[in-house]
Amino acid sequence: MTETAPTETGLFAEEMTISVGPQHPSTHGVLRFVVKTDGEVISEAIPDVGYLHRSIEKIGEKVTYHGYVPYTDRADYLAAMFANQAFCMAAEKLAGTEVTRRGEFCRVIACELNRLASHLISVGTFGQDIGAMTPFVHALRERETINNLMEEICGARLTYNYIRIGGVGYDILPETLTKIAEFLDHFGPIVEEFNRLLSGNKIFIERLAGVAVVSKEDALSYNLVGPNLRGSGIKWDIRRDIPYSIYPELDFEVPVGTAQVGSLGDSYDRFWVRIREMQESAKIIYQCLKMLPKGPAISKVPRKFKPPLGECYARVEAPRGDMGFYVVSDGSEYPYRVRIRTGSFAAMSIIDKLSKGIMVADLIALIGSLDVDAPEIDR
Amino acid sequence: MIKDGAFAGVPHQVVYAIGMVLTAVVVLSAFVAPLAGITSWLERRVWARMQSRVGPNRVGPQGILQWLADGIKNIMKEDIIPTAADQKLFPLAPYIVFMGFLCSFVVIPFGANLIVADLNIGILYLLAVTSLVVVGILMAGWASNNKWSLLGGMRSAAQIVSYEIPAGLAILTIIFLAGTMSMQGIIKAQGWGPWDWFLFDNPFTFCAFFLYFTAALAEGNRTPFDIPEAESELVAGYVTEYSGMRFLFFFFAEWGNLYVIGAVATTLFLGGWQVPPLPIFDNHPVLLGMAQFVTFFLKAYMWVFVAMWVRATLPRVRVDQLMALCWKYMVPLSFICMLGTIGFMFMSHQGRRIFGALTLGFAIATIINFFRRVGFQFRAAKPEFYWKPHI
């Protein structure tokens, strides 16, 4: 497929076809891009997905509703809590199950902690893609504390299986709540330190400003969601616009890209939206800790969970954007069909368009700024 | 002519020359190998502590023998030459890189009398042999028959060739001031105090120092200019296909090169091995030699530490930004530094001393301001204080 064409000097210039991935250090899992380049400038980069397909949707048809919750963890291992919540919301809507009020608060606390962890990984690995090694380790250090908290909340550090149909698996203990508050007090200054180290760095800004600009129209037509969409200046957040759980009662901002260093929708804007979302998440958890009511964490749900005939779509605002679970019930113990909609898959489609004419180093920055996550793409 | 023995019929001079070269090689290797090794350990340690990690601390006290363990491990690994690689050039490339680095130790002075050869073209020789590295890297990139390696090799060639120009021009300012290219001559033209160093001779040499240091980092493929082996873009650049001992040779050269950068900066700008003329040194020449060695070593290692610090702090620049920085900013700036220094040489001695003192004052004010800022950030971050140097 290499093009051979004589240049002005009469020399023959050939385009090089390189396979970036599936074992490349910066493809965030097993992703592959077929890149055509003249050495530095890319003429085409075609994403090749499917290396991490685990048939999570098909598994849903073979296990019970309760039994499927642990599988949803694996849809996006960096944000397992959100997949739990989306599936449980769908199942609850189908069966009309009530969620206890304390259960809702526990869900939001756990989800926002998970969002912090996920965004920390995202901005950390993004810094590493650009070549800054130290911010990555600092981000992972903070994530480690969150993992410890998660372990106290639900016993697992990565695949939580915490949110169950009707509430949450375990109530959050009072001493864990104190620890969460302590962590948040510590986390605010850490974000500022992170900004001094990475976000305000001249080289970092130069590398990202004006690179891989997604216009508002492109963001909408390519169906970008989450921070990628907000980075282009569109204020759309499921938590605010299609409210679920207790989010309407909470006071939080939806950060959008402001083109502060380059043009609107560039890689830096997407990065900066994530940094500010972390601060907003911390704010949300503070409020939840203050408002946390007493009561049971989970409502009475029958062990044989049989929702009536019907279909339902539930969506949550995951760290990688709008995550939706479409569940069809045929009245039996098993879902008739489960379909998962994830943000990373949508983000992959725009890479082909954005990668024309940028450099190899910028492609890495682009993949990092879209925060694509291989297991979430393939499911 | 030697009458009998294994060398019968060979002229004396040839045997002596070979003997001298072999001795020099053994002595240098015995010095350079631990130097590069310990630099690698130090870098990993320093880097780890900056990243709130612990770093290697298992082999030997504080992990100081980690480099030996790594070396032994790498020697014992299978020597893999890919079948698609160039069977002659592929094994040769690491040695050329290593040669370019080892040869530079010939002219690096460690004390007034501690130098392999005080060539009268010392610094020129150094620039020449360090250029050998680019041949080796290009060879490695080409011979690996791997697209990532080739990209890395091409990037490296472009980068090193470009950055030699500002580095050479910055060095030229010092050659003008010292009036010699001999490394010992340059050191002897300076004094032991900072006011006698070429760094604070005038504002232009002060700039030239930073130009040299930046260009040297780029020539040594160090962050923020490590694009030839940018692991997030080019997998491992020109070393992608290498493993075992050959892989080690590349990194041997890279870490040893750090010391060369520091040593050259010390020689040219920071007064080299010059020590204060204390009365105790008059009767104890060995003590004097040791003091000179330690002074030189500490000054050089200070810049090695700065290079590690920079690596732990900064992201990587893009390849076009790298070239723009060199050709649009550093080359013109180094020309200005060179011409400015020539202008200063016409000035009277007293006038030059005044400008030198101003430069020194400016440097001290900058350092004080730096620590004030660090202190401010430190208080803003409210870190927990702990003192655990021995983890």
Position A1 scores a pLDDT of 42
CATH number of the domain enclosing A335? 1.10.645.10
Q: List pLDDT tens digits, range A213-225.
A: 888 888 889 888 8
Position B381 scores a pLDDT of 64
Report the residue from B50, B233, B377 with minimal CB separation from A134.
B50
Instruction: Tell me what the pLDDT averaged over chain A comes to.
Output: 86
Q: Where a domain ends, among B68, B97, B117?
A: B68
For residues A81 and A168, what is the distance between their CA atoms, to the nearest angstrom?
Answer: 11
Query: Is 60 exceeded by the pLDDT of residue A190?
Result: yes
Contact predicate B198/B123, CB 8 Å: no
Pick the residue of B43, B225, B318, B377 with the most A CBs within 10 A to test the interface with A by mutation.
Answer: B318
Range of the domain at B5: 1-68
Position B358 scores a pLDDT of 87
Is B380 close to A204, i.e. CB distance below 8 A?
no
Residue B81 shares a structural domain with residue B63:
no
Position B389 scores a pLDDT of 61
Show residues of chain A in contact with B159, CB under 8 Å: none
Is A203 close to B377, i.e. CB distance below 8 A?
no
In a domain, B366, yes or no: no
Question: Searching chain A, which residue's CA lies closest to the CA of residue B52?
Answer: A138
In a domain, B41, yes or no: yes
Q: List pLDDT tens digits, range A303-348.
A: 888 888 889 999 898 888 888 899 999 888 888 989 998 888 888 8
Residue B133 shares a structural domain with residue B272:
yes
Q: Tell how strand A4-6 and strand A12-14 pair up.
A: antiparallel
Question: Searching chain A, which residue's CA lies closest to the CA of residue B223?
Answer: A131
Is B321 close to A207, i.e. CB distance below 8 A?
yes
Touching check for B154 and chain A: CB below 8 Å? yes
Residue B25 shares a structural domain with residue B152:
no
Position B382 scores a pLDDT of 66
Q: List pLDDT tens digits, range A37-76.
A: 887 788 888 888 888 888 888 898 889 988 898 998 888 8
Show residues of chain A in contact with B233, CB under 8 Å: 26, 360-361, 364
Q: Tell how strand A310-318 and strand A12-14 pair up.
A: unpaired
Residue B112 shares a structural domain with residue B238:
yes
Residue B53 shares a structural domain with residue B108:
no
Q: Where a domain ends, among B68, B92, B125?
A: B68
**Using the 8-state DSSP alphabet, how is residue A172 labeled?**
P
> A275: number of CA atoms within 13 Å, CB side?
24
Is A133 close to B47, i.e. CB distance below 8 A?
yes
Position B232 scores a pLDDT of 65
Mean pLDDT of A243-263: 86
* b/e A138-154 (16+ beta carbons within 10 angstroms → b): bbbebbebbbebbebbb
Nearest to B247 by CA among B31, B77, B33, B67: B77
Residue A129: which pLDDT band, with cuts at 50, 70 and 90? confident
Query: Is 50 exceeded by the pLDDT of residue A2?
Result: no
Is B232 close to A207, i.e. CB distance below 8 A?
no
Show residues of chain B in contact with A210, CB under 8 Å: none
Is A362 close to B318, i.e. CB distance below 8 A?
yes
Touching check for B51 and chain A: CB below 8 Å? yes
Position B391 scores a pLDDT of 56
Show residues of chain A in contact with B311, CB under 8 Å: 133
The total domain count for chain B is: 2
Helix segments in chain A, DSSP class H: 56-59, 65-73, 80-95, 101-130, 134-154, 174-194, 202-208, 216-221, 227-231, 238-241, 267-291, 343-354, 360-370, 374-378
Residue B276 shares a structural domain with residue B317:
yes
Is B230 close to A131, i.e. CB distance below 8 A?
yes
Residue B224 shares a structural domain with residue B248:
yes
Query: Is 50 exceeded by the pLDDT of residue A29?
Result: yes
**A260 or B214, higher pLDDT:** B214
Query: 3-state SS of chain B?
Result: CCCCCCCCCCCHHHHHHHHHHHHHHHHHHHHHHHHHHHHHHHHHHHHHHHCCCCCCCCCCHHHCCHHHHHHHHHHHCCCCCCCCCCCCHHHHHHHHHHHHHHHHHHCCCCCCCCCCCCCCCHHHHHHHHHCHHHHHHHHHHHHCCCHHHHHHHHHHHHHHHHHHHHHHHHHHHHHHHHCCCCHHHHHHCCCCCHHHCHHHCCHHHHHHHHHHHHHHHHHCCCCCCCHHHCCCCCCCHHHCCCCHHHHHHHHHHHHHHHHHHHHHHHHHHCCCCCCCCCCHHHHCHHHHHHHHHHHHHHHHHHHHHHHHHHHHHCCCCCHHHHHHHHHHHHHHHHHHHHHHHHHHHCCCHHHHHHHHHHHHHHHHHHHHHHHHHHHHHHHHHCCCCCCCCCC
For residues A147 and A154, what is the distance between their CA atoms, to the nearest angstrom?
Answer: 10
Residue B254 shares a structural domain with residue B281:
yes
The total domain count for chain A is: 1
Q: How far is B226 from chain A (nearest CA, A)?
A: 9
Show residues of chain A in contact with B309, CB under 8 Å: none
Touching check for B226 and chain A: CB below 8 Å? yes
Query: Which residues partner with A326 through β-bridges?
Result: A313, A339
Show residues of chain A in contact with B231, CB under 8 Å: 25
Question: Searching chain B, which residue's CA lies closest to the CA of residue A137?
Answer: B51
What order of strands is seen across the sheet that includes strand A42-48? A16-20, A32-37, A42-48
Q: What is the residue-level pLDDT of chain B in tens, covering all 391 positions?
A: 666 676 677 777 888 888 877 877 787 778 888 888 888 888 888 888 888 888 888 888 888 888 889 888 988 888 888 888 888 888 888 888 888 888 888 888 887 777 777 888 888 898 888 888 888 888 888 888 888 888 888 888 888 888 888 988 988 888 888 888 888 888 888 888 888 888 888 888 888 999 999 998 888 888 788 776 666 677 777 888 888 888 888 888 888 888 888 999 998 888 888 888 888 878 888 888 888 888 888 999 999 999 888 888 888 888 888 888 889 999 999 999 889 888 888 888 888 888 888 888 888 998 999 888 888 777 776 666 666 666 5
Touching check for B47 and chain A: CB below 8 Å? yes
In a domain, B380, yes or no: no
Contact predicate A271/A126, CB 8 Å: yes
Which residues, in sequence order, are CB contacts of B27 under 8 Å at separation 6+? Answer: B116
| Chains A–B, number of C-beta pairs less than 8 Å apart | 88
Range of the domain at A290: 12-378
For B221, the token pair is 């493929």
In a domain, A30, yes or no: yes
Is A127 close to B315, i.e. CB distance below 8 A?
yes
Touching check for A126 and chain B: CB below 8 Å? no
Touching check for A359 and chain B: CB below 8 Å? yes
Q: List pLDDT tens digits, range B24-33.
A: 778 777 888 8
Q: What is the pTM of this model?
A: 0.85
Nearest to A21 by CA among A318, A379, A274, A372: A372
Residue A296: C-alpha distances to residues A95, A102, A218, A229, B193 (Å): 20, 6, 46, 37, 75
Is A131 close to B381, i.e. CB distance below 8 A?
no
Q: How far is B384 from chain A (nearest CA, A)?
A: 10
Touching check for B302 and chain A: CB below 8 Å? no
Residue B182 shares a structural domain with residue B321:
yes
ipTM of this complex: 0.81
For residues A12 and A9, what is the distance between their CA atoms, to the nearest angstrom?
Answer: 9
Nearest to B343 by CA among B209, B202, B172: B202
Position A51 scores a pLDDT of 85
In a domain, A179, yes or no: yes
Over pLDDT 90: what percentage of chain A? Answer: 11
Question: Searching chain B, which residue's CA lies closest to the CA of residue A39?
Answer: B151
In a domain, A4, yes or no: no
Report the residue from B227, B235, B315 with minimal CB separation from A204.
B315
Q: Where a domain ends, among B346, B361, B384?
A: B346
Residue B146 shares a structural domain with residue B254:
yes
Residue B213 shares a structural domain with residue B247:
yes
Which residues, in sequence order, are CB contacts of B266 under 8 Å at separation 6+? Answer: B272, B296, B299, B300, B303
Q: How far is B213 from chain A (nearest CA, A)?
A: 18
In a domain, B387, yes or no: no
Q: How far is B376 from chain A (nearest CA, A)?
A: 12
Residue B262 shares a structural domain with residue B211:
yes
In a domain, A7, yes or no: no
In a domain, A5, yes or no: no
Nearest to B323 by CA among B174, B154, B204, B171: B154
Length of chain A: 379
